[in-house]
Chain A
Amino acid sequence: MSVSMDIATCQLITKFLLAAWSLVSAAEWAANLALFRPDGLLSWDVLKLRRRLSRPEGTHTVLYSHRAFLAVISGRALAGAALLAPSANAWDFACAGFIFASCLYVSRRSVFGSDGSDQMGMVISLGVAIMSAGIAFGDRNLAFVGVFAIAGQATLAYFVAGAAKLVSPTWRGGHAMARVMSTRTFGHPLAARIAAGKPRLSHVLCWFVIVTEMLFPLVFIVPPTVAIVALACYAIFHFANAYFMGLNAFVWPFLATYPSVMLMNATVRSVLGWQ
């Protein structure tokens, strides 16, 4: 990643990673279509009973049927595929905007089952839509708002995740890693054995996660080469989570924040007169 990256390059890398996430997430939701059928775990026949959905039931029934859900996530996959075009173009805004709308729709429809990758996917799609609009209209400031949105939410994501762990006795006491790894949903047999057999290592790892997540905002002021090394380490953290915890969909949207973070690094250091 070039230290002197411009907004166009940032938009290009970010949209490729957004495309990857869109394709994976759409395919995974499609594989779970049975959940959304009338007799599924997320049946709209039950979910429509939510208090705030008591009005126009007929419209909702069509809008939130499993067929409509399939249409929306198919649209997300198509929009993701279109974002793979090798240069910025006028369609990028529409595609990213559609992916953003699909994120809101899926959140509204599913109620249960969404995770942090869906949230970061939403953030990235909004950021890419704004960046793409800025590039299309030749408005650099508008494009930079998209960069700011992505970098800002990425900072909050890491810092809040670290702070929330810091206030947790389970994390501070060094037990969290072993406990999570001992589950079949998010754990891994090998990691569970290691964590159980080496409690001191497990304790150190818990604190390592807390400290590194909370130190994320420093990437905006450290020299660019240090920031790149730091982001590479955060990327390894996400790859490890994908392998040991099965959190595969987190990799793409979190990596997609890094070009914006690097651009903000250059901007912040420039404002501070450090480069």
Chain B
Amino acid sequence: MSLAATLLCGFVVMWLMVTAFSHIPPFQFWVSRFDQFHLIPRWNFFAPNPGDKDYHLVVRHRCLDGRLTAWQNVPLYVPRPKLACLWHPQKRAAKVLNDAVQSIRFLYRHEGVSDSGLPFSLPYLLLLRTVCRLAPPADDATELQFAIIESTGHDETRALTCAFLSSYHRR
């Protein structure tokens, strides 16, 4: 066996072992901390918690007189096309929103980030910036607030719940 084959074989064995261990909770934190290029795959598709919610970003404004506008949907992605089995670029924006929501939840539950600390986190800033760009304010709007709405179901009668409510931010 050549030196190159031996070295690469050693690397692959290590890679497989670290991948396997990275799915065991005590090791997850350390692997994700050092794996900046996501070289270690995460294979736990739709488990332990299946992706059982759709997420929507909504925004409202507070006007000069203190009045709150109605919640307005921020159009991040369009519904899945009929030929999504062949061509489905829309899934990326939906996945970004999904990942941002999960990231906010992780910061809350596992990293002990407080309400006052959350606005300085990456997912929060991404959503805030997007809301500012995509949601045109009322003429006399002074502040905005965004929320993440969870939904499930395919028809219009589906139930909506608020998963996250931001602070007010000056426009």
- Which of B34-42, B109-117, B136-144, B161-169 contacts the other chain? B34-42
Please give the distance in Å from A244's CB to the nearest CB on chain B.
Answer: 9
Name the interface residues of B16-46: CB closer than 8 Å to any CB of A.
16, 19-20, 23, 36-39, 41-46
The interface residues of chain B lying within 8 Å CB-to-CB of A137 are 4
Q: What band does the interface of chain B fall in when counting residues whose beta carbon is under 8 Å from A?
A: 35 or more
Name the interface residues of A131-167: CB closer than 8 Å to any CB of B.
133-134, 137, 139, 141-142, 144-145, 148-149, 152-153, 156-158, 160-161, 163-165, 167
Please give the distance in Å from A79's CB to the nearest CB on chain B.
Answer: 18
**Residues A176 and B52 in contact in the complex (CB < 8 Å), given A145-B9, A148-B12, A182-B152:** yes
Pair B122/A157 contact, Cβ less than 8 Å: no
The interface residues of chain B lying within 8 Å CB-to-CB of A141 are 1-2, 5, 9
The interface residues of chain B lying within 8 Å CB-to-CB of A123 are 41
Please report the C-alpha to C-alpha distance between residue A123 and residue B39 in the assembled complex, in whole angstroms.
Answer: 9
Please give the distance in Å from A243's CB to the nearest CB on chain B.
Answer: 5
Pair B52/A41 contact, Cβ less than 8 Å: no
**Residues A108 and B36 in contact in the complex (CB < 8 Å), given A28-B89, A161-B44, A246-B91:** yes
Please report the C-alpha to C-alpha distance between residue A242 and residue B45 in the assembled complex, in whole angstroms.
Answer: 14
Question: In chain A, what residue has the closest Cβ to B51?
Answer: A186
Please give the distance in Å from A58's CB to the nearest CB on chain B.
Answer: 19
Please report the C-alpha to C-alpha distance between residue A243 and residue B87 in the assembled complex, in whole angstroms.
Answer: 11
The reply to whether the CB of B72 lies closer than 8 angstroms to some CB of chain A is: no
The interface residues of chain B lying within 8 Å CB-to-CB of A115 are 91, 95
The reply to whether the CB of A187 lies closer than 8 angstroms to some CB of chain B is: yes
Q: Out of A111, A113, A149, which one reaches B92, CB within 8 Å? A: A113
Q: Out of B38, B48, B52, which one reaches A107, CB within 8 Å? A: B38
The reply to whether the CB of B73 lies closer than 8 angstroms to some CB of chain A is: no
Q: Which one of A46, A153, A185 has the greatest number of beta carbons of chain B within 10 Å?
A: A185
**Residues A170 and B43 in contact in the complex (CB < 8 Å), given A47-B122, A49-B125, A112-B96:** no
Pair B52/A42 contact, Cβ less than 8 Å: no
**Residues A248 and B52 in contact in the complex (CB < 8 Å), given A50-B122, A149-B12, A164-B23:** no
Pair A111/B80 contact, Cβ less than 8 Å: no
Pair A248/B85 contact, Cβ less than 8 Å: yes
Pair A184/B79 contact, Cβ less than 8 Å: yes
The reply to whether the CB of A219 lies closer than 8 angstroms to some CB of chain B is: no
Main secondary structure of the interface of A (DSSP, over half): helix
Please give the distance in Å from A89's CB to the nearest CB on chain B.
Answer: 20
**Residues A28 and B88 in contact in the complex (CB < 8 Å), given A149-B15, A156-B16, A164-B23:** yes
The interface residues of chain A lying within 8 Å CB-to-CB of B44 are 160-161, 164
Pair A161/B4 contact, Cβ less than 8 Å: no
- New A-B pairs, 19, CB < 8 Å, besides A41-B97, A145-B9, A170-B50: A27-B87, A52-B36, A104-B38, A116-B43, A119-B42, A142-B8, A149-B15, A149-B16, A160-B44, A161-B45, A164-B45, A165-B46, A176-B46, A176-B47, A176-B52, A184-B80, A185-B98, A247-B91, A248-B86
| A residues at B contact (CB < 8 Å) | 24, 27-29, 31-32, 35, 39-43, 45-47, 49-50, 52, 104, 107-108, 110-116, 119-120, 122-123, 130, 133-134, 137, 139, 141-142, 144-145, 148-149, 152-153, 156-158, 160-161, 163-165, 167-168, 170-171, 176, 179-180, 182-187, 189, 192, 239, 242-243, 246-249
Question: What are 11 A-B interface contacts by the 8 Å CB criterion?
Answer: A31-B89, A107-B38, A113-B93, A115-B95, A116-B43, A133-B4, A148-B9, A160-B20, A192-B154, A239-B85, A242-B86
The 8 A-B pairs at the shortest CB distance, nearest first, are namely A179-B52, A168-B48, A164-B44, A164-B47, A31-B89, A112-B99, A107-B38, A246-B84
